[in-house]
Amino acid sequence: MSKIRPLDAALAAISDGQMLAVPADYAGVAMEATRALIRRGIRQLHLVTLPAASLQADLLIGAGCVATVETSAIGFGELGSAPRFTGAVIDGTIALKDATCPAIHQALRAAEMGNPFGVLRGIIGSDLLKQRPDWKVIDNPFATDDPIVLLPAIRPDVALFHAPLADRLGNVWVGRQRDLFTLAHAAIRSIATVERVQDGNLLDDEAMAGATIPAFYLEAVALAPRGAWPLRLSGHYPDDVPHLVGYLELAATEAGFRRYLDDHVFYRGAA
């Protein structure tokens, strides 16, 4: 079967209750795919962000798609906090596995290398350890008086991201976004949406091969021009700031959030 598929067919590998890993805004967020998942009614996801998120996570949480979120932060930076995420944490409608950026990177890199855990020093002495009983502090076996934290590897069922380019074999060029390599290597399956698909083999191009994820890491690739909108895709288009501001104004209330979904998720012509 071809790796290049229509969007809904590409997303068929994502099912209720899975662990879904997604990148930060700067790396390439599959927003058109996210809207398709919400339209499909996906539920009970364990959402992992590498390492933070904004609109993608807030939409999934507000739409009732997420049971657990593992993240270092969900917010809109200088634009404000994430209203649906904040409300869900306060109401207790999602389980929050609080983390730090280095912790999530280390746990995914452990899975990437096939190891059962990663190690980290920077959270020694922090209150965060009290919130994460799955993180274990041990003595360094190669030194004395040197505690180290063990982090269970994060092995997502599916990684989902957006990239500039794929070829018809399913190889995906991600440029300088190395986090996408980490996600593709760590996850059992990976799905990418892309701005365009070209003929040939990207791995045959000396200039492109080093920034290309080989097709054997990809379950499926779907063509989705402007597929990160209203978030940015570096080198291609910026954040749609007026749209994001409008989202935050609407999503401050449940009724406003439902209006946003009607206008920009369930209405396919919105973008």
| pLDDT band of 270, cuts 50, 70, 90 | very low
Q: For residue 212, which of 160, 163, 157 has the smallest C-alpha distance? A: 163
| pLDDT band of 267, cuts 50, 70, 90 | confident
What pLDDT, on a 0 to 100 scale, did the predictor assign at position 91?
A: 97
Q: Do the beta carbons of residue 156 and residue 121 sit within 8 Å?
A: no
Helix (H, G, I), strand (E, B) or coil at 252: coil
Tens digit of each residue's pLDDT (9 = 90 or more) over 210-263: 999 999 999 999 999 999 999 999 999 999 999 999 999 999 999 999 999 999
What pLDDT, on a 0 to 100 scale, did the predictor assign at position 264?
A: 97
Helices (H), the chain: 7-10, 31-40, 55-62, 83-91, 101-112, 128-131, 178-186, 206-209, 241-250, 254-264
Other C-beta atoms within 10 Å of 82: how many?
24
% pLDDT > 70, the chain = 98
Task: Label residues 178-198 b or e (16+ Cβ within 10 Å = b).
Answer: ebbebbbbbbebbbbbbbebe
Residue 10 has pLDDT above 80, yes or no: yes
d(CA 197, CA 227): 13
Q: What is the arithmetic mean of pLDDT over 3-26?
A: 98
Tens digit of each residue's pLDDT (9 = 90 or more) over 95-152: 999 999 999 999 999 999 999 999 999 999 999 999 999 999 999 999 999 999 999 9
Q: For residue 203, which of 213, 195, 193, 194 has the smallest C-alpha distance? A: 213
What is each CA distance from 240 to 80, 193, 196, 243, in whole angstroms? 15, 19, 20, 5
Q: Do the beta carbons of residue 179 and residue 24 sit within 8 Å?
A: yes
Tokens encoding 195? 């701005």
Question: Domain 7-101+155-264 class?
Answer: alpha beta
| pLDDT band of 271, cuts 50, 70, 90 | very low
Q: pTM value?
A: 0.96
% pLDDT > 90, the chain = 98
Mean per-residue pLDDT of the chain: 97
d(CA 26, CA 232): 7
d(CA 159, CA 49): 10
Q: Do the beta carbons of residue 227 and residue 197 sit within 8 Å?
A: no
Annotated domain spans of the chain: 7-101+155-264, 117-152
Q: For residue 177, which of 219, 228, 211, 217 has the smallest C-alpha distance? A: 211
In the chain, DSSP finds a helix count (H) and a strand count (E) of 10, 14
Secondary structure of 46-84 in HEC code, one letter for each residue: EEEEECEECHHHHHHHHCCCEEEEEECEEECHHHCECHH
| pLDDT band of 268, cuts 50, 70, 90 | low
